[in-house]
Amino acid sequence: MSLDKPYLDVPGTTIFDAEQSRKGYWLNQFCMSLMKHENRERFKANERAYLDEWPMTEAQKEAALARNLNWCISLGGNIYFLAKLGATHGKSFQQMAGSMTGMTEEEYRNMMIAGGRSVEGNRVVGEDGNAQKHRQPQGTSTAQGRL
Amino acid sequence: MAKITASVFTSHVPAIGAALDLGKTTEPYWQPLFAGYDYSKQWMKDNKPDVIFLVYNDHATAFSLEMIPTFAIGCADSYTPADEGWGPRPVPVVRGHPDLASHIAQSVIQDDFDLTIVNKMDVDHGLTVPLSLMCGQPSVWPCPVIPFAVNVVQYPVPSGRRCYNLGRAIRKAVETYDEPLNVHIWGTGGMSHQLQGPRAGLINREWDNAFLDRLIADPDGLASVPHIDYVREAGSEGIELVMWLIARGAMSDKAPTVKHRFYHVPASNTAVGHLILENN
Ligand SMILES: [Fe+2]
């Protein structure tokens, strides 16, 4: 019997369940280590060398080096862990969230001030809202997902 | 006999803590949000509790992936504000209430809720931001706090029904504590928000306000709402709202008095909701 996962058809959304958590264990634990000031300094001094201390997959290391949060999440990352990586680079939660949409920081901030993203068209995969796959990336950011 | 006299519900967005700590509360972006808590700060002074039972979630701070307790009750003497990556918030150390916390743990576990007992942990913005919103910036917090951490980070999180029933068990536990303490229970987190993926920034004002309406008038019905509705309608991180049902379940079965209600969009990525209910 397979498990009940009714959340797989929510567009633009990855639910961090036990399966994702297994996949992302070392990526997330690496992020966790960045809660210590001295580790943040060591990481910033040589990101690749610091990452090589962790039994992460090569793709996870590349995603972390690329500061690409959507990529990290697809490899099992969770936003609350990835937030430590963002914080290490001096970024806020709003900058992190915005980086995953393709919008510039200003475009994302303005969307929030205007009341946020509408749920209309964004409830189920296959509708036509702005979070759907065929409408990515949103906005005019040239960062290609890099935080 | 101890008694729960009131419940407080509020979002706990980290950017709110940063705005306070950096002295930005009067900036046009933040002013309307903090104005929504002016009443609340006065109410806290006028109705000072002996203990706050504070339901919140840890955001990969005290609990990494090494251990993920579904329900964890803090039984320690004190809790240090955590360094979440930006450095620790400059807020007072949180004093605990080990006696009442241990009493509640024993009673609630005997009622079939398998709590994890925590005697050492740091507390993150989930706990300190609500304290800041309700108490301002004092040099010491006005009373002891019992942290009660709920897993809403890794799915599956506890159901609304389980949270609501747990609240009822907490009520019973408090009422069997001999010392006549005035206890407030807080439910924090939410409201609608999504912090990840191309759907980041989702806000659902109608759903949030219907949630507030039902939390006040129909909590039992609200407890039946399945997780997927929270995710679809209020965003992947909007699931934090299930924690509000713990605090609501701990209130009396009689209809509460609504002392304050506030809703504001945005605080960073999030809709902010706030309620103060008094028991009758
Ligand atoms: Fe939260």
Q: Could you give the ipTM of this predicted complex?
A: 0.96
What value does the CA radius of gyration of chain B take, rounded to a whole number of Å? 17
pLDDT in tens, chain B (280 residues): 999 999 999 999 999 999 999 999 999 999 999 999 999 999 999 999 999 999 999 999 999 999 999 999 999 999 999 998 888 999 999 999 999 999 999 999 999 999 999 999 999 999 999 999 999 999 999 999 999 999 999 999 999 999 999 999 999 999 999 999 999 999 999 999 999 999 999 999 999 999 999 999 999 999 999 999 999 999 999 999 999 999 999 999 999 999 999 999 999 999 999 999 999 9
Two structure tokens written together for A122? 């964004």
Q: Do B199 and A10 touch (CB under 8 A)?
A: yes
Is there a contact between B93 and B80 (Cβ–Cβ < 8 Å)?
yes
From CA B58, how far away is CA B68, in angstroms rounded? 10
> What is the reported pLDDT for B216?
98
Shortest distance, CA B43 to any CA of chain A (angstroms):
29
User: Residue B144: CB partners within 8 Å, gap ≥ 6?
Assistant: B50, B51, B52, B95, B96, B97
Among the options B59, B103, B193, B264, which is catalytic? B193
Two structure tokens written together for B180? 């006549």
Mean pLDDT by 10-residue block, N- to C-terminus, for chain A (147 residues)? 90 97 98 96 98 98 98 98 96 95 97 98 98 97 94
Complete DSSP assignment for A52-70:
TTS---HHHHHHHHTTBHH
CB atoms inside a 10 Å sphere around CB B156: 16
Q: Which residue of B has its CA nearest to A122?
A: B199
User: Residue B10: CB partners within 8 Å, gap ≥ 6?
Assistant: B130, B133, B134, B186, B188, B272, B273, B274, B275
From CA B152, how far away is CA B215, in angstroms rounded? 19
Residues 95-124 of A with CB under 8 A from B: 96-98, 100-102, 108, 111-113, 115-119, 122-124
Q: Which residue of A has its CA nearest to B66?
A: A29
Q: Per residue in B24-82, pLDDT tens? A: 999 999 999 999 999 999 999 999 999 999 999 999 999 999 999 999 999 999 999 99
Q: Do B266 and A115 touch (CB under 8 A)?
A: yes
Shortest distance, CA B114 to any CA of chain A (angstroms):
20
